[in-house]
Structure 1
Amino acid sequence: MCMSRIDKIRSKEKEYHDHCYDNYKLFEQGSWLHKPVRTILDLFAYFDELEEVQVLDLGCGIGRNSIPLAEKIGARKGTVVCVDLLESAIEKLRLYSKEFNVADKIECKQSDIAEYSIASKYFNFIFAVSSMEHVESETQFDRVIEHIVRGTKVGGINCIIISTNISETAINSGKRLDPMYELQFETDQLIRKLQGIYSKWEILQQTVKPYELEIERDGQRIILQGDVLTWAVRKMQ
């Protein structure tokens, strides 16, 4: 039986992440796991004066962002709810949360982010780093964003960091390949979509940074190119 495009992409993503999680330790040099995303930490400063902070990390991996935020909550009331599709990620997150003494602040949920039910007006901070491009369709993307918006308290922040304008090229042949991403937004298209959805929110950050890197897939060297769109907004009413 032939594997669907979505199933193939998810199989490759699982293979890549399982290998990474098995071979690189959280917060050690050598991979993208060695430090949290600076934007996420900077945005969390908006909540420094709150006595209770509720956070939702959609696509949490093994905790490179959620564990530092749990540490920042500290003695205050609050939880970082961590959602990821991969069992391997959730298992290692549980272990790391104990290692870094934040297990009481971390709530693990193994789920497709498109299927996770977000409580209404519950979270101060909802973010998704390199995960929204992996929902199955634009319809699902729209539904997840709708749920994120609904789940955010007044004064809360949403941050979406997502790859756009993605292309993959085989180095040896120069052949353009089908990128292993479920969603392939054009940068300007996605900005317009988000501006429409978040028209009444305060824009805290809107940046686009191009990237290019060499990866290997199925023994083939590939140039992966695209943009990273960072979209951070605050709910004012």
Structure 2
Amino acid sequence: MDCDVAVKVATHFGPDEVKRLFKEIGAMKKIGYHENVMCMLGWALPGDAPCLVYDIAEMSALSFVLDFREKPDDQVPRKKFLSILWQVSRGMQYIASKGIIHRSLSARNILLFGPTVAKISYFTNCCFCNSENSIVKDSTIQKLSAKSMALESLAEQIFSEKSDIWAFGILAYEIFAFGKAPYGTLNDDKIVEFLNQGNRLERPSNVNDQLYEIMNT
């Protein structure tokens, strides 16, 4: 049956970009299927770099929440925001059960299908955890967003399920702050200092104590 699909190809055909795409293919094969994870329909190698085929999403979670930045409070779909986060938590729990650390969890990498389904995408920067203590030390963090990274990842290049949980808290902030960038204008090299001093993201005005505690867990 014919259908529209999205095709992901390398923007730069260097060995590093191709290697990362093959890593994503490996992650997709290991993940298999979950309703809250963007699953690969297939892949091809028409030239020197692979092409990955996915379903087409309507928009990202980031685009969705940005639309409500100027809307009055009574028009903000908080239940929908919470539903997105709940679905992401289910997807991340499944990913962790497969020994995969996502490392790029953010609002722009959550894709929405129709009015109800959220799926985690973008596994280009993921890593595989095979150690007994479920920790990976990786110094190649140049491609990662410092504003979504846990303190131990920034300071010691340590990644684990816990660092993805930290990123989930940042994602919750992005959702309820209507896409506002975490840490504002703070430069990446100042984030470690900011966090080491015990500082954390401010609470968005529409977030209660219970949700803010989850953000800071």
Tell me if TM exceeds 0.5.
no
More strand by share: 1
More helix by share: 2
TM-score, normalised by the number of residues in structure 1: 0.24
TM-score, normalised by the number of residues in structure 2: 0.25
